[in-house]
A and B are shown apart, each in its own frame.
Chain A
Amino acid sequence: MTILPILKKLGSLALTLFAASILVFCSMYFVPGNPVSFLLRGRSPSAEAVAAVTAQYGLDKPVPEQYVDWLANVLHGDFGRSFQYREDVSTLIASRAPATIGLVALAGLIIGILGLAAGITAALNQGRAADQAILLASTGLAAIPSFVGAIVLIAFFAVQLGWFPSFGSGNGFLDALYHLVLPALALAATFVALVARVTRTSMLEQLGREHVEVAVSRGIGRGHVIRRHVLRNALGPILTVSGVLVAGLLVASSIVEQSFGLSGIGSLLVQSVDRLDFPVVQAIVLLIVVIFVTMNTVVDLLAPVIDPRSMAGAAAR
């Protein structure tokens, strides 16, 4: 009874990914410019040269066939070769991944801790100074785009105070972490504000529920009531919003990477779009779609754990 909904979710995940792969593949044909002319770097080539390049990259075959070839390769982990770097896309991405993973993980940690803490503090002090301050700060943070935030952070912490480096990835784990502090803060700022707001609203809604009053009336201490009945029940909306935020986080990471000169996947995406390096763009976009859809499927699958009633539609009564 409980395995069927999970299978259904996984099935719809596979379908979504399939549809996304078609879109991603076809995007190559929606973009102005032609891969062949890029490959030949603006030289005015002979007809033979064009034909040779076209054949080398399989561009002479019908589009559906190209798609099937591409998909078969992708499923084997082969995303083709980059036009601009002349190396395998998978190797390229693998070399760039650690910087991005580190950035997103650190930002996620900051979002989780600061966002939840600010939201909880605001909810428990509703209407008082702490709540007002957090609301004001979150409105401000949410309004600042991450590239502006990045510049402000660099100007203040890197240039004026000189506490943190403003550029590059650093060598070794600790140095890399040190280099990631400012980028992660710039990336996290907007999302901290969003998570804080959702947490506050969700907590306040639960605080007004009758079952919370019942728990208080039974002589259960405030700490237990807040943790077991308010925060626990508020998790659902927070988790749902977090799942949706993943997409924004990945997209914003490319901007932040550019600002701080980190050689991660995001900056690779920006450069590749700029130079019409289609295999790389396709691979990265597909990767982002996979991560986003997977995260949200995980959130969906967690829903019954968070709230047993969400299974009731299928199972109970």
Chain B
Amino acid sequence: MSLLEISGLTLDLPSEPSCRLLDGISLNVGAGETVGIVGESGSGKSLTARTVLGLLPGGARTSGSVLLDGTDMLRCPPSVALDRRRDTVSMIFQDPRSGMNPVRRIGDFLTESLRLCEGWSKADADERALELLRSVGLPRPESHLSQYPHELSGGMLQRVMIAGALTAAPALLVCDEPTAALDVTTQAEIINVLRKQQETRGMGMLFITHDLNLAAALCDRVYVIHSGRIVEYGSALSIFTSPRADYTKRLVAATPTIPSVSGRRSSAAASHGRAPSAGSAEPALEARGVSKCYAIRGGADIRAVDDVSFRVPPGGALALVGESGSGKSTLARMLVGLERPDSGDILVDGVSRSTRPRSRAERLKRARAVQIVFQDPYLSLDPRIPAGAAIEDALRLHSTLRGVEARARVLTLLDRVGLTEKHSQSKPRTLSGGQRQRVAIARALAAAPGVLVLDESTSALDVSVQAQVLDLIDEIRRERGLTLVFVSHDLAVVRRVCETTAVMKQGAVVESGATAGLLEHPGHPYTQLLIDSIPKPRRSLHAISQ
């Protein structure tokens, strides 16, 4: 018998009678086996993971069974489910920072179940916690015990979460997107910790992710889930290399990858590539020794951006790549004029914009020159303003169009980003993430900018939606001769759009040049590290485990 055996699991919520959230899910995990569930947001993958622990949303109606080591987690009494959570199954969540009580110490988090539920003495529980912290590779276990979560980095916290999940020595570890909130290099470290713990303890592992690459790199078998149904399952490699279901094929095609540099996309990007340092034409966007410092109360100043210079020719596309804290978003905000550099200068079409705009006209003129699309379309659109009205507002500010003409222009813009008249009446909350980001792009285009800055504009989207939005950006750029600056943490994503790339670390550009060349022959060790950290299917496993 398998360790975990889910058969015919369906789940309905009375609040959403029209759609079945889980529809006949069947899967199994053997002892010591790593099984992946891959799906996009809303597919039901997290819900499936939670049923394994008997955690159901309020009022949920289920059928089928979730047999965990012989116990049906759907039908057993609450006290039995509580016991299974204590001794058989543990779960690791997506965001360690919101998954840990901010007002309690790390030591308290690690030992509370032992002390409160198992009746261990404090000394024994602390001893066990230290042992676990050591095993997940934290540098100073003794001092971590008395620290609070906000004093640790995201990667360290996720290690603490893993240690916390291992306190009861579970037979099954359920991981729900455990690296989605982390930087790519940190992700590689956490995956290594998980793999090592899984191997040494012989645990079964159910690994939930939206990232096909990651699933293929880590798992023995993979289930692909879509709208509450399993559409395909098989060995990780076979799913990745020869998908059978249409959905899986689309997912594989949409997943950004690094290795095949000779792919269709890169050649498309290269076809209108210019030399990165084309000094002949006046650059559309230029940064000259731009620096920005933030004063931290009671600490040393942080150099968020440190002497950065680049030139982007008209119609060019520059990618700014780096991990969180590298200063890439601060730089983007300075390019748009949301912040002013402490020193250095930013020129758009040869005009400096480092001084404060003196008049409303000048401010609007600057805004027209550079527009930005932010990361999270859920936050960057006003929830009370319909999509069409948001775009019309931008038109009223930046053009002379009024009334009927303005509304016609709104429809043209919506049409350009693949939306229809129907969407112009919709409030953001009724739109999907991809549709919202299209609205945000249309709104930015309404000002007819020469330069468009995209600040992680696709990282909040599902991979298939991300692929569509990236295609859209690429099309619009070619059609209008837009100059693009694409800020991203993901080398595989920028590779699709930008022919030149600058890699940032701790505020400074460590390497820049043509994207293809940079990926094939990284000159700086940090670039190499970024490339190596991207998960790859098991064939090239050595890359990630090093």
Contacts and interface: CB of A to CB of B under 8 A. Distances in A.
Interface of A: 1, 209-211, 213-221, 224, 228-229, 232-233, 306-309, 312-317
A214 B100 contact: yes
Contacts of B84: 219
B82 interface: yes
Given A210-B93, A315-B298, A317-B299, A306 B113 contact: no
Given A219-B117, A221-B82, A308-B150, A210 B98 contact: yes
A314 B299 CA distance: 8
Given A1-B298, A309-B102, A309-B148, A220 B93 contact: no
A316 B150 CA distance: 8
Contacts of A219: 82-87, 113, 117, 168
A217 B298 contact: no
Interface string B71-94: 000000000001111110011010
A220 B117 CA distance: 7
A317 B150 CA distance: 10
A218 B90 contact: yes
Nearest to A315: B298
Contacts, number: 90
B85 A217 contact: yes
A227 to B, nearest CB: 10
Interface of B: 53, 55, 82-87, 90-91, 93, 95, 98-104, 112-113, 116-117, 148, 150-151, 161, 164-165, 167-168, 296-299
A316 B148 CA distance: 10
A226 to B, nearest CB: 13
Given A1-B298, A309-B150, A218 B85 contact: yes
B531 to A, nearest CB: 29
Contact of B296 (A220, A232, A317): A317
A163 to B, nearest CB: 43
Contacts of B297: 313-314
B290 to A, nearest CB: 24
Contacts of A209: 98
Contacts of A215: 101, 112
A309 B113 CA distance: 24
Nearest to B167: A218
Contacts of B90: 217-218
Nearest to B302: A317
B101 A233 contact: yes
B30 to A, nearest CB: 22
A316 B117 contact: no
Nearest to A218: B113
A315 B297 CA distance: 8
B99 A210 contact: yes
Contacts of A308: 102-103, 148, 150
B55 A213 contact: yes
Contacts of B55: 213, 216-217
5 contacts: A210-B98, A217-B85, A219-B85, A233-B103, A317-B151
Contact of A211 (B100, B150, B167): B100
A315 B103 CA distance: 16
A215 B104 CA distance: 12
The 7 closest A-B pairs by CB, nearest first: A219-B86, A219-B85, A210-B98, A214-B99, A211-B101, A308-B148, A217-B91
Given A216-B85, A308-B148, 17 more contacts: A211-B99, A213-B55, A214-B99, A217-B53, A217-B55, A218-B167, A219-B83, A220-B112, A233-B102, A233-B103, A308-B102, A309-B102, A309-B148, A313-B297, A313-B298, A315-B298, A317-B151
Contacts of A313: 297-298
Nearest to B85: A219
A316 B99 contact: no
A231 B117 CA distance: 19
Contacts of A309: 102-103, 148, 150
A211 B113 CA distance: 14
B113 A220 contact: yes
Contacts of A214: 91, 93, 99-100, 161
Pick the most buried of B98, B103, B168: most chain A CB atoms within 10 A of its CB: B103
Contacts of B53: 217
Nearest to B53: A217
A213 B85 CA distance: 12
Contacts of A306: 103
Nearest to A224: B116
Nearest to A214: B99
